[in-house]
Each structure stands twice: as structure tokens, then as C-alpha cells.
Amino acid sequence: MTQKDSVDQFKILREIMDKFLKERDWKAFHTPKNIAMSIAIESSELMELFQWNNPTNDEVIKDKELLEKVRDELADVMIYSISMASSLNIDLYASIKQKMLKNSVRFPEKNK
Amino acid sequence: MTQKDSVDQFKILREIMDKFLKERDWKAFHTPKNIAMSIAIESSELMELFQWNNPTNDEVIKDKELLEKVRDELADVMIYSISMASSLNIDLYASIKQKMLKNSVRFPEKNK
Amino acid sequence: MTQKDSVDQFKILREIMDKFLKERDWKAFHTPKNIAMSIAIESSELMELFQWNNPTNDEVIKDKELLEKVRDELADVMIYSISMASSLNIDLYASIKQKMLKNSVRFPEKNK
Amino acid sequence: MTQKDSVDQFKILREIMDKFLKERDWKAFHTPKNIAMSIAIESSELMELFQWNNPTNDEVIKDKELLEKVRDELADVMIYSISMASSLNIDLYASIKQKMLKNSVRFPEKNK
């Protein structure tokens, strides 16, 4: 078994997403403009969980109810992002790695 | 080789992200509130690419300059989302699959 | 009666807002960061009303239920904006007029 | 001189806005969907000013450069909000006062 045969998580998620949209005839609604709006809307719902407070990471981890909400909203942001990438034939995994590399060059390490 | 040994893309991205933040002493800035804001800000920059127009997916694919910008902004949304998931010990891949399943139940197929 | 004595709508709104916050001891929560987040959250709720559709202005005007929601969300955006301006001693009315003037210079008229 | 003759700031701003759009033939772009997106985009730019820090109101007031940016972004949020209200024949001043009244009922004072 080579690495190519192994689990490609982003491919699996893209396939689940495409199947979901096709079964519901929702492909037509997933225009770039609508999905960009949807990502923004979901990210705002995530942000709303921290509107009036400023918990540490540990405090969120201990607050099971809040953590579950964060998990849910974060998943919604990701789902629309994966849908957009799929519709535009963008390789999301490669894009993220490439952008991280770009960021590493743009923001050099402190002690180097 | 079992599936467990195979490529775990989300784990790889999380490790790149954690290393990047650690090398720059930026962990302290990545509070849930700040990262939720950052995801919203990046998603707004993605949305800005479609503020006054409404191209089809094919039109975006053909416009290489626009596609590159979409790719970049989408990666930024994902990078902050992965950072938040990492800080909160959230298994993003499992969360997305679980939310998709929830959506499948919530929005039944048309012909079933 | 001179113009100076006449109705200053922004001043009236600012006074209503300040009184409201003071009576509830909420001033402390209205930090610039929190209010900027709140404006973004309310504007996302406004945007959600047009997430999957693209009505004309006339269609919104005729849809009394939708129009009421738009009215409400728009008011929320304004209320937080007025609160931020008040906390920072910003003269909102003057700022808007000044920015419109700046825009007029930045984007010259077509036939001039 | 009666109150009706006095300065109606929101009317003045609406008129400046309408004239600006008409002179540039931009009315057609100001659909409810596009303007809702624009309000969200401008509010995100305002939020970006507080992405990694959390200054007090006084600190912002003393930082003239930051204050000027806040003033500018806040004006942009207001300008698009006024444009939307104008296109939909919404009386913004009345809407805000009405929503504040609604809020007063929804969130009663502490000591009452």
C-alpha cells in the first residue's frame, strides 16, 4: 500500500459534501457569492460565543456546553469552506500548506 | 500498513500550525475570542472578492487571478480554524463528519 | 429659535443609548473591541436575511415580514455604532458627512 | 419655526447619499444583498483595528491615528446602512428609537 492509497481526509469530506448537495438539488445555490456569505455568517455565529467574555482556552475546554457549541460552529465554517473549494476545484490541503509556508517567510522566527 | 498508520492530513496541518506559533511566541495571542474574530475577518476578505459581482463557479475557475485570491483567503479561514481546533483539542475531521451527518438528518433528501 | 437649538437627532440617540447603558451598569462591557464585534455580529444577522436569495429593493418593500426584520437588524447595527461613537467622543454626523465628501473626491462623477 | 422645520440630520445624510449614487449611476449595484454584504465587510474592517489588542475607550481616544481609523470605518458602516434604509424607505431614526424602546422592555433595569 502506497501513500496514494491511504486516507485522504479532505477528499472524503469533499465527497460527503458533494453527495449531500446533489441529493438535495442544492448545487445551484452554492455560488461563490452565496458560499462566501455563508462562511462569513457561520464565522459570526462562532464569534458570538465570545461576544461579551474572553475565556482562556482551558476555560472553554472545561465548559462542555460552550465547547460543544464552538465545535458545531467551527464545523459549519469548515463545511462551507470545503464546499467552495470543491466547486472551484481548489485543493484545500495543498492551499493551506502553501499559505503556511508563505506565512513562515513573511513572518520570520524571532531568534533567527 | 493499517489505516491508522496512513496520512492524517488534519494532524499534519495542526502540527505545522503549532510549530509556527511556538517559534514566534504567538500562542498567547491565540485566545478563543481573538481567533474567532480572525476567522470572521478572513471570511470577510473572502466575501469582499464577490461584493459587487456574482460570477458562476466556472467564471471564477477561468479567472486565474481571482481564483488565486479565493484560494489564499480560503486558506486563511482554514488556518485560523485549524488553530482554534488545535488550541481547544477539537478533532476537526470528526467534528465535520458528525455535523454533516446531523445536517443529513435535519434536511432529508427530496425523493425519500 | 436658531438652528443650534433645533433637533439634533444623533445627540438624542446618543443620550438614549447612554442612559440605557448606565441604568443597566453595562458601560464596562462596551469596550471598543466588544462593540466592534457586536456591530459585525449584527451586520451578519442582517446579511443572513439575503443569504440564499437576491430580491430587488421593491420586492423587499412589498414583503412586510422581511422588511420588518431588515428594519430591526439595521437598527441593531446603528445602535452599536452610536454606542461606539459615544464612548469615543466621535461626532458621527460630522464623520459621515466628511467621509461622503472624501468619497466624492475619490470617485469622481462619470460625466465630469 | 416649528420642530418640523428644524434640522433632520438623517434626511440630510440620505439626500447626500442618493445624490452621490445617482451621479455615478451606482443605484443598480445597491441591491439589498450587496449592501448587506458591504455593511458586514466594513464592520469587519472596523473590527480588524482591535484584532490582537483590547484597548480601553480612553486609550483609543488618546491614540489619534487609531481614533481616525475608527472614525473612518464607523462612517463607512453608517454610510451603507443609510443607503440601505434609503433604498427601502426605512425611517432609520424612528427605527433606532423604536428598537431602543424594545430593548428597554426586553432588558429591565437592575434596580426596578
State the average pLDDT over residues D3-23.
83
Is it the case that residue C7 has pLDDT exceeding 80? no
**Would you say the pTM of this structure is higher than 0.90?**
yes
Is it the case that residue A2 has pLDDT exceeding 50? no
DSSP of C32-95: HHHHHHHHHHHHHHHHHTTSS----HHHHHH-HHHHHHHHHHHHHHHHHHHHHHHHTT--HHHH
Mean pLDDT of chain C: 91
Cell numbers standing for residue B18? 503549532
Mean pLDDT of chain D: 91
Chain A touched by C61 (CB under 8 Å): no
pLDDT tens digit sequence for A63-111: 999 999 999 999 999 999 999 999 999 999 999 999 999 999 999 886 5
The predicted structure's pLDDT at residue D97: 95
Chains linked to A by 3 or more Cβ pairs within 8 Å: B, C, D
Is it the case that residue A5 has pLDDT exceeding 70? no
State the average pLDDT over residues D17-22.
93
Whether the Cβ atoms of residue A87 and residue B57 lie closer than 8 Å to each other: yes
Contacts B24 to A, Cβ<8 Å:
107, 109-110
pLDDT tens digit sequence for D41-73: 999 999 999 999 999 999 999 999 999 999 999
pLDDT-derived band of residue A3, with 50, 70 and 90 as boundaries? very low
The predicted structure's pLDDT at residue B111: 59
The predicted structure's pLDDT at residue A109: 85
Q: Which amino acid is at B90?
A: I
CA distance A14 to A9: 9
CA distance C87 to C93: 15
Is it the case that residue A57 has pLDDT exceeding 90? yes
CA distance A61 to B87: 9
Chain B touched by C29 (CB under 8 Å): no
Give me the residue from A29, A41, A51 closest to C47, CB to CB.
Answer: A41
Contacts B36 to A, Cβ<8 Å:
43, 46-47, 49-50
Torsion angle defined by CA atoms of residues C37, C40, C45 and C46, in that order, rounded to the nearest 10 degrees? 150
CA distance C44 to B54: 19
Whether the Cβ atoms of residue B76 and residue A99 lie closer than 8 Å to each other: yes
pLDDT-derived band of residue A15, with 50, 70 and 90 as boundaries? very high
Listed residue (C38, B7, D74, B110) closest to A50, CA to CA: C38
Whether the Cβ atoms of residue A34 and residue C50 lie closer than 8 Å to each other: no
Helix-, strand-, coil-residue percentages of chain A, each rounded to 5: 75, 0, 25
Is the CB of D55 less than 8 angstroms away from the CB of C32? yes
- Alpha helix ranges (H) inside chain B: 9-23, 32-48, 57-62, 64-87, 92-106
> What ipTM goes with this model?
0.91
What's the gap in Å between the CA of C82 and the closest CA on chain A? 18
Cell numbers standing for residue B50? 464577490
* Most confident listed range (B54-63, B100-109, D98-107): B54-63
Cell numbers standing for residue C34? 466588544
Contacts A47 to C, Cβ<8 Å:
37, 40-41
State the average pLDDT over residues D92-108.
93
Chain B touched by D47 (CB under 8 Å): yes
Chain C touched by B88 (CB under 8 Å): no
Cell numbers standing for residue A62? 472545561
Contacts C77 to D, Cβ<8 Å:
39, 43, 77, 81
Is the CB of B47 less than 8 angstroms away from the CB of D41? yes
- Whose grid coordinates read 492509497? A5
CA distance D31 to D13: 19
pLDDT tens digit sequence for C35-66: 999 999 999 999 999 999 999 999 999 999 99
Cell numbers standing for residue A47? 464569534
Q: Which amino acid is at D92?
A: L
Is it the case that residue C27 has pLDDT exceeding 60? yes
Mean pLDDT of chain B: 91
pLDDT tens digit sequence for B64-109: 999 999 999 999 999 999 999 999 999 999 999 999 999 999 998 8
CA distance A32 to A38: 10
